[in-house]
Chain A
């Protein structure tokens, strides 16, 4: 895979004049050309635009200016983010006939304004409805650690591109686990912030009441760097919080060792593979906790998230389901159609359950700063494999990859997924979960674990 450099190192080298943004972009484009055919992470490479932007960055540096904290850092985005002049596919064939976006999504714009250089758009499950990025229109994205296996989804292209070292940063979205699942399977860091923390303006919706914007990186410091740039109120998104920016980069080493942590038991350990269970224990041990706590109603919360997703997604796509059902991926179409038929009392009950379930989670945070749970029940499965045997249970891969993520996004809690170091094995991911708006604590704990060598990006094994 490509030589891996951190975003911080790239920005420092360009800002100091040791390297040019143009040389970094050329190197990135060459790496994509060499390695992406084996991965299928990119659906579009924006070479001309990236070179133009790199020249712009180099001119600012040459003139003594500062292009921003992401000075010349290449990044890529899941293809449901609007990019000016590019058709926002959202993983679908139907959207391919839409006109190009007239402007950038707010998240894309903020990364660019901070000096980032957009190099392309990334593959995903159709309309973000899936956990494997086995897209029937644009092909499956392959896991850089084993190209016969899935990268996870729905932001599979975003995770694979970062894990393979093609870009140090990428944007994704998470409705039920679509950042946390691929981050875990590809062995990198992924942040799903508090619901409403980051602007969704210019992002194709899937489930309005569950959709989150977030991102991927190979180091905690890079994840923090991009997070600080992405934060901030946005009038274009009525769901975006008006909270002030709460920077984390400058506070990564604060409060080290003081987090009160506990492992989520019950639902969050059921059907775990031995490797995944071991990863959770490694993190718990490093944080000095043997405590296990229960989050009541987790199974019901997962079921309610499942139904809400189908119902809201089905309603969103109803016109196309009526007019051109043949142009959907059959697996997406069937679930959306069924969801469009759900009785309203179930949808309302699911929404009401969110309040109750959130209150039970908030009660846990009175005594804990961070809750620990696996991100997925098992590691990356072979592409095309539909079921997996765990103990005596035969489980559907697609339906069960999100078992542990869905209850958490159901109530909008911030989650930082960390890659646990398991030498010689496929990556495992662990969710670090905090109370609403407490992302800074998650970054500090992740930095502590990274410093101790417990978590870090999995090395590509060939």
Chain B
């Protein structure tokens, strides 16, 4: 989901699947927020973690 056309296509299909209605007013601001989230996710999505890094242990403080 790196290029804008892919992101916009994802936005349309995913919002439909989620039951969210995007209007002329909301489509671009939501797309802008999704772009921010994608750029954030790219900062951690490929960090190698051990296969047994279990999310259920995250609050084992």
Contact = CB atoms under 8 A, between A and B. Distances in A.
Q: Do A and B bind each other?
A: yes
Given A194-B61, A195-B61, A303-B44, A338 B33 contact: yes
A459 B47 CA distance: 46
Contacts of A337: 15, 20, 22, 26, 30, 33
A303 B43 contact: yes
Contacts of A209: 58-59
Contacts of B34: 338, 341
Interface in B2-16: 10-11, 14-15
Contacts of A353: 44, 47, 49
Contact of B40 (A306, A334, A412): A306
A399 B44 CA distance: 18
Given A325-B26, A352-B49, A436 B44 contact: no
Nearest to A315: B18
With a 10 A CB-CB cut-off, give which of B19, B58, B59 has the most chain A CB atoms.
B58
Given A352-B53, A356-B53, A334 B29 contact: yes
A355 interface: yes
B26 A299 contact: no
Contacts of A300: 43-44, 47
B30 A355 contact: no
Contacts of B45: 345-346, 349
Contact of A334 (B14, B26, B47): B26
A342 B33 CA distance: 11
Nearest to A410: B58
Given A195-B61, A307-B40, A310-B37, A322 B21 contact: yes
Contacts of B47: 297, 300, 349, 353, 356
Contacts of A325: 20-21, 26
Contact of B59 (A195, A318, A349, A437): A195
A15 interface: no
Interface in B34-61: 34, 36-37, 40-41, 43-45, 47, 49, 53-55, 57-61
Contact residues on B (Cβ < 8 Å of other chain), bracket: 20 to 34
B55 A355 contact: yes
Interface in A329-372: 330, 333-335, 337-342, 345-346, 348-356, 358
Interface residues of A, number: 43
Nearest to B50: A356
Nearest to B28: A334
Contacts of A301: 44
Contact of B37 (A297, A342, A355, A437): A342
With a 10 A CB-CB cut-off, give which of B10, B26, B61 has the most chain A CB atoms.
B61
A322 B49 CA distance: 36
A333 B26 contact: yes
B24 interface: no
A280 B39 CA distance: 30
Nearest to A399: B36
Contact of A322 (B19, B26, B58): B19
A196 to B, nearest CB: 7
B51 to A, nearest CB: 10
Contact of A304 (B18, B33, B44): B44
B57 A355 contact: yes
A51 B20 CA distance: 47
A45 interface: no
A321 interface: yes
A334 B33 contact: yes
12 contacts: A196-B59, A297-B47, A300-B43, A301-B44, A307-B44, A318-B18, A325-B21, A338-B34, A339-B33, A349-B45, A349-B47, A354-B58
Interface of A: 194-196, 209, 297, 299-301, 303-304, 306-307, 310, 318, 321-322, 325, 330, 333-335, 337-342, 345-346, 348-356, 358, 399, 412, 436-437
Interface of B: 10-11, 14-15, 18-22, 26, 29-34, 36-37, 40-41, 43-45, 47, 49, 53-55, 57-61
